[in-house]
Homo-oligomer: A and B are copies of this chain.
């Protein structure tokens, strides 16, 4: 195969060396801060700029065995929880000259997502809201591959960061109970979704310790459309609840919208609360009462933990819990008689 040398192929460090009259090794040193005579370095940098040289990350990673890429697996990009979270992740990574490789594991099948990330030889992976007992995650952990679970509980002895679900759940229940609600419904995720499970457990615990009736629970898989249908059924049923708690803000919004579509007044006839405190929750037009999760802090800690583990795979697994806080807005009020 004749070397095309056409303008199509991007210039390499060898091309620079040829022009500069040095060896390729010197070019590499000049570009990466090795010992090079000042004059030589200047010349090489100038030529590099002129040629429009861009280092080939693939070639570099082959010799350094580090890519500087970090995989991030999300379950549903349309969940408004993610934008801020991802922006913060990207920002934290940028500070260490790393970059984010985002994968959307639609429908809980994270197998393929992980496969791609491994092919790209990412240095580590942040999972958000992966399904409990995910085989893919377990495999990675078994291989001692750097993994951090964000916004979900420990499962296979790897690092994790989550909000204080019991405290948050207790706060919502206290708030609603204080308003006189006794018939509470919950829109939950799938049974295997750990975040959902922990929040639900927290709600149940608090209700029983307050000697209140157990909640109606509908598992919607955190899917917006299914949550709307579920809320509609609840509200048009024989014994509609006086309060609905969405285990994340997305399904709480679904409840709000179902109520609006049915003409059920909020908060006078129905109270709605969520979890996460997504940006839209604070909009005056929505004003959702919700349990704030420190998304930014969660992203920052996830990246920090991941990098510590990348640097030292032998660390003992760590589990961080960030404080949760109830934000009362305008979707909750005294229970209707």
Asked if A57 contacts B121 (CB within 8 A), the reply is yes
> Of the candidates B55, B77, B90, B260, which one forms a contact with A119 in the assembled complex, judged by CB atoms under 8 Å apart?
B55
A277 to chain B, nearest CB (A): 14
Please tell me if A54 contacts chain B, counting CB pairs below 8 Å: yes
Please tell me if A86 contacts chain B, counting CB pairs below 8 Å: yes
Which residue from chain B places its CB closest to the CB of A253 in the assembled complex? B283
Asked if B280 contacts A280 (CB within 8 A), the reply is yes
Tell which of A87, A102, A106, A285 has the most Cβ of chain B within 10 Å.
A285
Kindly state the separation between the CA atoms of A269 and B139 in the bound complex, as whole angstroms.
59
> Of the candidates B10, B119, B260, which one forms a contact with A57 in the assembled complex, judged by CB atoms under 8 Å apart?
B119
Please tell me if A21 contacts chain B, counting CB pairs below 8 Å: no
* Those of A160-195 within 8 Å (CB) of chain B: none
Kindly state the separation between the CA atoms of A77 and B78 in the bound complex, as whole angstroms.
11
Binds B, one of A23-31, A59-67, A202-210, A233-241: A59-67
Kindly state the separation between the CA atoms of A115 and B49 in the bound complex, as whole angstroms.
13
A122 to chain B, nearest CB (A): 10
Asked if B87 contacts A116 (CB within 8 A), the reply is no
26 sampled A-B residue pairs with Cβ under 8 A: A7-B144, A8-B313, A10-B118, A52-B139, A54-B115, A54-B118, A55-B119, A56-B119, A57-B119, A58-B62, A58-B121, A62-B62, A78-B84, A78-B279, A80-B80, A87-B104, A87-B106, A101-B101, A102-B102, A253-B283, A256-B283, A257-B283, A257-B284, A257-B285, A260-B283, A286-B286
Number of chain A residues whose Cβ lies closer than 8 Å to a Cβ of chain B: 51
Q: Report how many copies the assembly holds.
A: 2
- What residues of B have a CB within 8 angstroms of the CB of A319 in the complex? none
Please tell me if A218 contacts chain B, counting CB pairs below 8 Å: no
> Of the candidates B57, B90, B257, B284, which one forms a contact with A120 in the assembled complex, judged by CB atoms under 8 Å apart?
B57
Kindly state the separation between the CA atoms of A56 and B101 in the bound complex, as whole angstroms.
16
Given contacts A77-B83, A102-B102, 9 further A-B contacts (CB under 8 A): A8-B144, A8-B313, A52-B139, A56-B119, A57-B121, A78-B84, A100-B102, A257-B285, A260-B285
Which residue from chain B places its CB closest to the CB of A79 in the assembled complex? B83
Write the residues of chain A forming the contact surface with B, with a CB cutoff of 8 angstroms.
7-10, 52, 54-59, 61-62, 65, 67, 77-78, 80, 82-84, 86-87, 90, 99-102, 104, 106, 115-116, 118-121, 139, 143-144, 253, 256-257, 260-261, 279-280, 283-286, 313
Kindly state the separation between the CA atoms of A280 and B280 in the bound complex, as whole angstroms.
10
- A86 and B90 in contact, given A59-B62, A119-B56, A284-B261 (Cβ under 8 angstroms): no
- What residues of B have a CB within 8 angstroms of the CB of A83 in the complex? 77-78, 82-83
- What residues of B have a CB within 8 angstroms of the CB of A313 in the complex? 8
A125 to chain B, nearest CB (A): 13
Asked if A56 contacts B121 (CB within 8 A), the reply is yes
Asked if B78 contacts A143 (CB within 8 A), the reply is no
Asked if A104 contacts B119 (CB within 8 A), the reply is no
A262 to chain B, nearest CB (A): 9
